[in-house]
Structure 1
Amino acid sequence: MRSLIVVIGVLMLAAAGSIRAASQVQVVGLFPGAAVINVDGQRKLVKVGQTGPGGVVVVSADSRGAVLRVDGVERAFGLSREYSEGFAEPSKRRLSIAKGLGGHYWVAGSIDGHPVQFLVDTGATSVALNEGQARRLGIDFRVVGRPLQVSTASGTARGWRVSLDRVKVGSLEVLGVEAVVLEGGSPSEVLLGMSFLNRVGWKVEQDVLVLESKL
């Protein structure tokens, strides 16, 4: 009888250890065919079929979730926020962006509530968009903006400096963001420049751009 109790106790401890191990695995970024996983504070972009930190294997991944093999057991994971140890409240909000077409970082977001596909550009001093894009977003730049001359790769262009009420990507939202509207069709994509990036933390880890809110 005593041996049976000992065996049950060992099994309970083993189960508790498995639960603790599983609770330390998080999916903090999702992409077609890959996931950013965090195991005991080690974050890495892992493609399907590859092994990440702690021996965790990404079995499948898409924009809705990922299936990970942890200690030989497959389990479905949704996108989770990261939590600081010992606290129930989420720590800094993070957004992981994988490198996309042309080696650039693309991210869906919004300007003043209107959906926008951003091209992240750390070389741009501010959020930048062309006049057609500004009109579609309802920005009356000729009335509310301040005229200026902007130096571009093609030469000097006429522009207007404006203030955007809200710029949001993922769960990161910044209020009162400086932007420049350029005359003509350049830039062809809305650039997410340093006037936004400097208001949040950002870094590149293994070809993944990580944006992080400042507490």
Structure 2
Amino acid sequence: MRSISCVATSLLAAALYAGGVAAADIDLIGVFPGKAVLVVNGGNPKTYSVGNTVAGTIKLTSVGSATATLEENGKRQTLQLGEHFNRTAPSGPASITLHADSKGHYMAQGQINGGTVRMLVDTGASMIALPSGDATRLGIDYKKGQLGYSSTANGVKPVYRVTLDTVRIGDIQLNQVEATVHEGGLPVILLGMSFLNRTDIRREGDLLTLSRRY
């Protein structure tokens, strides 16, 4: 049996709602193939296999190398080790809370045009910025975008301005978000202000909460 991969200091919490009432608070504390170690409503850690009911109508549908996906009433929520999710009641705004990593950076697991991505929150970036390799993987025909140039440590590189169909992190999904695609000098996707300007941002200690405004 493979050893359990745990991140004891980085608990992930998710609150799932049904009919406007919180159904469960769930912490993901470890994963191994086909199984996840969860703490439900502050109880003792318990190992669940894919397909098991976790609480009420919530089921564990899949497990990744550092993720577990739960489903309730056809709606899925992916828990990522090191992130804190807070699913608000239907009457409230969609939000997500992120934990700072050891370097003080906020990383968000999400989707762009339906493809899975990991992004660095960067309030200094005017737009979402993608390396060209990620853009190609996501099926973005970025060379049809508006061409510009950016000065990098490796010289001047082409930059293309595009519009993303959808960008999602946690419960927040925005449509028609402006972005730039860089052909050099960008090691990670930056979640910039073209997304962040459409959220309310609150920072408390090492927690950063984004709430959708429009």
Same fold (TM over 0.5): yes
Counterpart in the other structure of 1:175:
175
Tell me, yes or no, if the aligned pair for 2:112 and 2:167 is still in contact at 8 Å: yes
Give the partner amino acid of 1:99: A
The Cα RMSD (Å) is 2.9
Amino acid at match of 2:120: L
Asked whether 1:118 is paired with 2:115, we answer no
Matched length? 150
* Residues 157 and 182 in structure 1, CA contact (< 8 A), matched pair in contact too: yes
Report matched runs for 1:110-149 at 5 Å: 110-142=111-143, 144-149=144-149
Determine the structure 2 residue equivalent to 1:32. 10
Query: Following TM superposition, by how much is the alpha carbon of 1:34 offset from its aligned partner in structure 2, in angstroms?
Result: 6.1
In structure 2, how many angstroms separate the alpha carbons of the residues matched to 1:149 and 1:203?
A: 33
Q: Highest CA radius of gyration, 1 or 2?
A: 1
Partner of 1:44: none
TM-score (norm 1): 0.60
Which residue pairs with 2:157 in the alignment? 157
1:209 & 1:155 partners in 2: Cα distance? 34
Q: Aligned partners of 1:206 and 1:36: how far apart in 2?
A: 19
2:28 maps to which of 46, 58, 62 = 62
- List alignment gaps of at least 5 residues for structure 2: 1-8, 16-25, 30-37, 44-54, 59-84
Change beyond 3 A, Cα 1:163–1:80: closer
Q: Match for residue 103 of structure 1?
A: 104
CA–CA distance in 2 between the matches of 1:153 and 1:67? 49
Q: Distance in 2 between matches of 1:138 and 1:147?
A: 18
Q: Residue in 1 aligned with 2:87?
A: 81
> Aligned partners of 2:116 and 2:12: how far apart in 1?
24
Q: Distance in 2 between matches of 1:128 and 1:104?
A: 16
Q: CA deviation at 1:102?
A: 1.8
Identity among equivalent positions (%) equals 37
CA distance in 1, matches of 2:208, 2:86: 17
Q: Give the Å deviation of 1:68.
A: 3.3
SS of the residue 1:203 aligns to: strand
User: Deviation digits for residues 68-91 of structure 1, max 9, x if unmatched?
Assistant: 38xxxxxx9x976344xxxxx431
Contiguous gaps of at least 5 residues in structure 1: 1-30, 38-59, 70-75, 84-88
Q: TM-score if structure 2 supplies the norm length? A: 0.61
